[in-house]
Structure 1
Amino acid sequence: MKPETRRSAETALLPGARTGRDPARSIKRGPSRLPPGVVAATQRERLLDGLVLTVAQHGYQRATVSDICRAAGVTRPVFYELFTGKEDAFLAAHRYGTGVVIRRMAAAFAAAPDWCAGIRESLRAMLGLLAGVPAFATMAVIELDAVGPAGRRERDHLLTRFRAFFAEVPELPAGVTAQAMVDAVVGGVYCTLQRCIGADRTAELPDLLPTLSLFCLAPFLGPAEAARRLELDPMP
């Protein structure tokens, strides 16, 4: 990963990490000295933050465009200049936020000395990010189902992106394909996150690191070897 890409991954914020009405991003009324592109980008960021916080609080179905605009401090006409509707804005927030998560995970993976450590460190990055911005975790993992078919397609696409972290898996027994095994592991991790976030235990996500690390490695290395590679203490 190039240094500038790594810095971008480290500094980019998840939608919902700031309030839409953050004074640092206010745009004064009247003629603006800011270029139109900068104004539009700022308004878009504020709307994504407002959407995440609104959906996390009220749920996707009950959240309205007016609620989102109010939370962002942006007018409805501006909202419709940037998005075709609530679903479009939701998917934009999901794509942007999950992109931040994937890039942060990739940076942690690349900095690790080997594949096993890379899996653990990429999981650590993901769990820490989601725990740090619970509104985004709720919006992206729990409320995605409420969007309907477009949300399900978005999730399916996201889960396939995690295959990149398993490019170095050892050879599996005959009749067991690596992609099917990887998809099963990724799906299991996602379901675990879903249960924890849905139970309002998002702050506890980092505590899952040993369990999820072992879960990701054991199918490919065996439980004992996976535990040894992760330097986990054996059960008494």
Structure 2
Amino acid sequence: MTQVYGSRADSFHSRRHHRRRLLEALAVCVARHGYAQTTIADIAAAAHVSKRTFYEHFADKQACMIALYESASEASRRQLGLDDAEGLSWAEQVERAVRRYFSHLATRPLLMRALFMEVLSLGPEGLRARRANLDALAEAIQHSADTQGVTLPAAEAAALIGMLSEWILLAIEQDRVAALPDDAPAVAAMLRAAILGRRLTA
């Protein structure tokens, strides 16, 4: 009986391992060749698995790309958490969070270009994945506002995330993703001003 359980556990870990390798392979292929030029055969070869293994995890290339977008977005969002462990003021926490977020994006500029640009062409499923990510980012902004006694309406939080996204898209278009961390003070200042300004107009 123990052996059966062990086999199931091994199978589960193997599937997770293959899925992770496929996502990493897609990230490499998209960064090198772009999404449109990347084939399932390319992904499987880069992951050192068969095309059959690919189809055990994803229905098609688009499904794999959406999974990559969701995984990369979640990893990016984790950088935005406020951290007062070092006794930082709220203003310092916001700037530090934005800098971490931008620094994370800057480490893989080609992939970020693909994710931010390509997700818009992935049909309804891609747009839903993008909306889910933007909503989660807006919730992070609302949480930050809550720490200052400001109740930020969802629409206003979404508008701030729209500003953040446009800032990133402009950096992508200007081929300056690597310089995004330098923009952290200006972007953090705008976010803080919008949140604290809401307190004055409430």
Shorter-normalised TM range: 0.7 to 0.9
How many residue pairs match? The answer is: 184
Residue in 2 that maps onto 1:165: 141
Kindly provide the CA deviation profile for residues 62-106 of structure 1, in whole angstroms up to 9, marking residues without a partner as x.
221111112222210000011111111111111112111222322
Residue from 199, 212, 224 that aligns with 2:174: 199
Residue in 1 that maps onto 2:114: 139
> Percent identity, aligned pairs only?
28
CA distance in 1, matches of 2:193, 2:101: 20
CA distance in 2, matches of 1:146, 1:56: 17
CA distance in 2, matches of 1:57, 1:191: 24
1:161 is matched by which residue type in structure 2?
A
Matches of residues 44-83 of structure 1 in structure 2 within 5 Å? 44-83=19-58
Which ranges in structure 1 are unaligned for 5 or more consecutive residues? 1-33, 223-236
Contact 2:150 2:196 in 1 (8 A): no
Residue in 2 that maps onto 1:185: 160
* Length-normalised TM-score, structure 2: 0.80
Kindly provide the CA deviation profile for residues 104-123 of structure 1, in whole angstroms up to 9, marking residues without a partner as x.
322x5464634333321211
Which ranges in structure 2 are unaligned for 5 or more consecutive residues? 1-8, 198-202
Kindly provide the CA deviation profile for residues 138-161 of structure 1, in whole angstroms up to 9, marking residues without a partner as x.
232122112122222211111111
Q: Which is helix-richer, 1 or 2? A: 2
1:165 is matched by which residue type in structure 2?
I
Over 3 Å counting, the alpha-carbon distance change for 1:138 and 1:158 in structure 2 is same
Query: Which stretches of structure 1, 4 residues or longer, exceed 4 Å deviation after superposition?
Result: 169-172
CA distance in 1, matches of 2:45, 2:70: 22
Instruction: Tell me the SS of whatever aligns to 1:129.
Output: helix
Residue in 1 that maps onto 2:97: 122
1:221 is matched by which residue type in structure 2?
L
Residue from 182, 189, 196 that aligns with 1:214: 189
CA distance in 1, matches of 2:141, 2:160: 12
Residue in 1 that maps onto 2:68: 93
Contact 2:30 2:111 in 1 (8 A): no
